[in-house]
A and B are shown apart, each in its own frame.
Chain A
Amino acid sequence: MRVVSALLAGLVFGLGLTMSGMINPAKIIAFLDVTGAWDPSLLVVMASALTVSFAGYRIVLARGKPAFEPSFQLPTKTVIDRPLLVGSALFGVGWGLAGLCPGPAISAAALGSPSIYAFLAAMLAGMAIKDFLPARRAA
């Protein structure tokens, strides 16, 4: 069941990204270009998504456990540390360069374009560099 529900969640997520135009790199770059021809759509997308997720999480988490798993798997870290900030800063540079982040990149790949494939392949490589190469020092 959890495979079916994951497929459903991914599909609904992707439909939201598609409908809002967030799988379009040109639209993301227009949002980030605040001193140019600015397109504030992404702000509306985030506000709307957060309204639903904020209210929905309150209801769901109050129920004590998810439908198809024994317990909720929530992040436990609370400290704002260097890896969080440095990683997010690097992510932002990449997001600005390409106009894509991980979710939209997967959806956009379905529409087929060499530049999307290049982004995805490099993204997987970047993840593997972090996850598979031994860290030089403990964070």
Chain B
Amino acid sequence: MPEITGFTPGPAAAGGALIGLAAVLFMALNGRIAGVSGVVAGVMAPLRGEGRADLPWRLAFIIGLFLAPLAAGLALGRPVEITAPHPLWMMALGGLLVGYGTRLGSGCTSGHGVCGIARLSKRSFAATAMFMASAILTVFILHRLFGV
């Protein structure tokens, strides 16, 4: 059995419900999957002459995501704290793979993991199983073999 530490089921359940609510709101109002990799990549699409009309709502969604931790910080009366434990080169390499992989694989944790599975999409089940497995394996190799 693994040792369980830092488990925060209450905030996880409440935060998860908000994520689900956001996905439902976006479908009810805008009629779309709340897939962040697709929204972000779409912001660059006008550079190749596509999706110009969608640029305003895409930017608005991203601004909402960006403002959220600041709003939460104001509500809490203290800034939200995060820790990125790895060196800059690992973050950059990770970013590159996340960017390329989510475009090739048509989605990320939000589009496949939350929205796609909720639609019972076979592709999203497969994608989610694949990225979960490869991420767990990556962390296993980093920790066990390289001590990172």
Q: Is A16 touching B96 in the complex (CB atoms < 8 A)?
A: no
Q: Is B63 touching A98 in the complex (CB atoms < 8 A)?
A: no
Task: Please measure, in the bound complex, the distance between the C-alpha atom of A81 and the C-alpha atom of B91, giving whole angstroms.
Answer: 28
Please give the distance in Å from B74's CB to the nearest CB on chain A: 12
Task: Please measure, in the bound complex, the distance between the C-alpha atom of A33 and the C-alpha atom of B2, giving whole angstroms.
Answer: 9
Option from B22, B48, B104, B134 in Cβ contact (under 8 Å) with A132: B48
Please give the distance in Å from B113's CB to the nearest CB on chain A: 6
Q: Is A7 touching B60 in the complex (CB atoms < 8 A)?
A: yes
In the complex, chain A residues 1-19 whose Cβ is within 8 Å of any chain B Cβ: 1-19
Task: Please measure, in the bound complex, the distance between the C-alpha atom of A34 and the C-alpha atom of B143, giving whole angstroms.
Answer: 11
Task: Please measure, in the bound complex, the distance between the C-alpha atom of A105 and the C-alpha atom of B109, giving whole angstroms.
Answer: 12
In the complex, residue of chain B having the shortest beta-carbon distance to the beta carbon of A129 = B100
The 0/1 profile, CB within 8 Å of B marked 1, for residues 47-87 of chain A is 11111111011001101011111011111011110011111
Q: Is B95 touching A48 in the complex (CB atoms < 8 A)?
A: no
Most buried by A among B8, B18, B57, B106: B18
Most buried by B among A10, A29, A57, A118: A10
Q: Is A127 touching B99 in the complex (CB atoms < 8 A)?
A: yes
Q: Is B36 touching A96 in the complex (CB atoms < 8 A)?
A: no
Size category, B interface: 35 or more
How many chain-A residues does the 8 Å CB contact rule pick out? 117
Q: Is A85 touching B126 in the complex (CB atoms < 8 A)?
A: yes
The 0/1 profile, CB within 8 Å of A marked 1, for residues 79-113 of chain B is 11111111110111111111111111110111011
A35-B144, A118-B91 known; A16 and B15 CB under 8 Å?
yes
Task: Please measure, in the bound complex, the distance between the C-alpha atom of A65 and the C-alpha atom of B32, giving whole angstroms.
Answer: 11
Q: Which 4 A-B pairs have the closest CB atoms?
A: A10-B64, A126-B99, A14-B68, A87-B105
B residues whose Cβ falls under 8 Å from a Cβ of A: 2-9, 11-34, 36-37, 40-41, 44-45, 47-48, 56-58, 60-72, 79-88, 90-106, 108-110, 112-119, 121-123, 126-128, 130-140, 142-144
